[in-house]
Amino acid sequence: STAQSHQQHQRVGVAQICDTSAKSAVSLRSGISTRTNEAGGQQPASAADDIEAEAKNEVSLQSAVLIQKWYRRYKARLEARRQTSWMIYQSIEYSSESSQLHLYNFFNDMLRLGGGGVGGASANAGFAERLRQKSIEEEDEELLEHTGYSEMTVERNYKGPKLSFPLSATHVQLMIDSFRQGGLLHARYLLQLLHETRSVLKTRQNIQLVSSSISKQLDLVIKMLSLNANFHAPILKVTVVGDLHGKLEDLLIVLYKNGLPDVTNPYIFNGDFVDRGPNSVEILAILFACQLVWPSAVFLNRGNHEDQVMNLRYGFIKEVQYKYRQTANKLLNMFSEVFAWMPLATVIDDRVFVTHGGISDKVDLDRVRRLDRHRYVSVLRPPVAKSSDEKVDYMEWRQVLDLLWSDPKAQQGCKPNTFRGGGCYFGPNVTRAFLDKYGYKLLVRSHECKQDGWEFCHEDTVLTVFSASNYYEEGSNKGAYVKFDSECRPRLVQFVASRRDKLPKGQRLSSVEESALRDLRGKILASKSELIDAFLRLDPEKTGAIRVSQWCSTMEEKLRLELPWRTLRPHLAQLNKDGRLLYMSTFQRAAIQHRLSGGKEMANSVTETVYKNREELETIFRIMDKDNSGQISLEEFKESCRILCQATQRQMTEDEVADMAKSLDLNSDGYIDFNEFLEAFRIVDYQRQESQKRLLGDSVQSSVSE
């Protein structure tokens, strides 16, 4: 890549300087001391010349050593900054997932208690009913009734790709070309595509099988053609693609570099196609179309984000509502249905096991093969007994949860994944036992963003592949995919979908670092009241200063983020002349703002509470929004706030909730557009604003002078 090339040139340049300095020094030291006379001949040098040459030797050697030291320190500082930024991004991401699981544990408690709690059973009964998972018969009946496409018409002015079924490779290429230009597939075609995909996925096993050699049905043809001296049998390589997360550019790069799927170029797409990025719909449309055109060459594994509950929070539902306003409800029902039918794992040549998350010491593949995967529309919703006599098989649900949510760790054993809040951490001994039991050589998984796009662990028996480059911020990470040959040897391919490749590494890193710090400041401001209370308890004399160690421990305890707080301190808080930390400076650089209708400012206490729990509130809102219109009534908004207070054990008064609801009803029609409400929150960076003002002032002053 361009970035790698730039880095290599930089490294070579420094190496050449060091090499030149060292060579000149060695040549001066090892050569015979001579000097040139006026006639051009050489004669022995004097003692003074020898001393001068020796001094030059020392200067050259010292220069080389200094340059090497400087470069190593420069590289070490860049790596330390990169690692710190990475830790911030990952800690905030996993903290968000953990809070999502905590919220759904609360919802599951509501279901078991029949909707009781704060406000009484009747207050939450309607909400609990919306959480209830319907039976398969109920879902099939509703699906056919509410997701039909035969009566939908395609407008004459529609300029996107036009599909006719059965699909062909031409249709796939038309979709790719259209999506690359920002086109949108018509809802009628998308619904039919989803129905066709559902029919194919229903025929797939929970654990799919794929071969890295040519399809068996073509073996005879290959042997016959091999008699022709000019024929060379194709060398098949199975390609595994990791998380894409709505980043269409990454998928297009993979297909461009590696080619479209066909019987000689099979693909396994290992889940997490949606959420976070802006083009989840387009990615799914391309992958589903490829599976219909090349059913024996495209294998889709379910990821933890192919889940109705995760989609409530991380952007996919919002994307569908924005792109397909009138048909969003139909499409979302069908997407959830298709996600539930996606297989859970794929095996390559009985040697490589590919699943999205990982394994645990409880995973039993015989049991996985037998379970009904479709009943888990959301893996975050454990099965609930419909009567006191019914027994719930939690171990079956656990199989699915562990396959989609688990992460490998260096420590031995298996324990709950407290960082994410779901699945487990599995150690090298768990991996070895699993591989030995089923005769596999390698476990391939995705689920975790890696800086290089891939990572081996557990003595090279676990490979993580992540294909969404620039996942946290442009320049934050590379994407990768892996190709397996007939011997199941992996070959990794890296790529970056970025327009900043030509920027120096330090400049790209500064952008990533600032973005990470901005996200961290948002987390700090969301817990401002709790942090101030804790700081005041450590400062009984109200001096405004505490020890740095006290500040670090408080930040870790209240934010629940395991970060190098001492390293981050210069970016977040100031010291006084005695070296003690001025704790209120932690909040001076930025503030949370939310503008209500008419420019009215929301009360600080309410702003902080709502901002801190905005993701949980959005999840509740979207559950309330039964028709996926993006709007809820004032009463539904009030009920959402009550449920939020109950789930988070924080309080907002009825008056505060009522005032907020009235202010958000911009049209006075009794409904709230909660997308607009949530997007109105922003972090105001005062230091950045001042810097921009100074730059603007300097620019204006320069223009006036000219």
Q: What is the pLDDT of residue 124?
A: 55
Please name the amino acid found at residue 229.
A
- Contacts for 425 with CB less than 8 Å, ≥ 6 apart: 406, 407, 408, 409, 411, 414, 415, 416, 417
Q: Which two tokens stand for residue 548?
A: 């740095």
Which of the following is catalytic: 305, 447, 458, 594? 305
Ranges of the chain whose pLDDT falls below 50: 1-18, 20-36, 38, 113-123, 215-217, 220-221, 597-600, 692, 695-696, 699-700, 702-706
Which of 408, 388, 421 has the alpha carbon at shortest distance from 458? 408
Residues 6+ apart with CB under 8 A from 421: 97, 98, 99, 100, 101, 102
pLDDT at 624: 67
Among candidate residues 338, 300, 255, 293, the one with its CA nearest the CA of residue 171 = 293
Q: Which of 496, 360, 522 is nearest to 427 (CA)?
A: 360
Give the pLDDT confidence score for residue 680 in this predicted structure.
59
To which H or E segment does residue 401 belong?
Answer: helix 394-405
Structure tokens at 643: 């449920």
- Residue found by looking up tokens 């509470």 in the block: 609
Q: What distance in Å separates the CA atoms of residue 283 and residue 377, rounded to the nearest whole number?
A: 20
Which residue's entry shows tokens 């249709």? Answer: 171
Query: Listing from the earlier edge strand, what are the strands of the sheet with 574-575?
Result: 545-546, 581-582, 574-575
SS3 sequence of 499-544: CCCCCCHHHHHHHHHHHHHHHHHHHHHHCHHHHHHHHHHHCCCCCC
Q: What is residue 586's predicted lDDT score, i.e. its pLDDT?
A: 93
Which residue bears the tokens 């030059």? 56
Task: Characterize the bridge pairing of strands 267-269 and 34-36.
Answer: unpaired
Look at residues 147, 150, 152, 173 and name the one whose alpha carbon lies nearest to residue 161: 173
| Secondary structure, 3-state, 12-65 | HHHHHHHHHHHHHHHHHHHCCCEEECCCCCEEECCHHHHHHHHHHHHHHHHHHH
Whole-angstrom Cα distance, residue 685 to residue 664? Answer: 25
What is the predicted pLDDT for the residue at 230? 55
Annotation says 305 is catalytic: yes
Question: Phi-psi category of 191—alpha, beta or left, where left has phi over 0 and alpha has psi -120 to 50?
Answer: alpha
List, in order of start, the domains of the chain with CATH numbers: 159-200+234-382+393-495 (3.60.21.10), 528-587 (1.10.238), 610-697 (1.10.238.10)
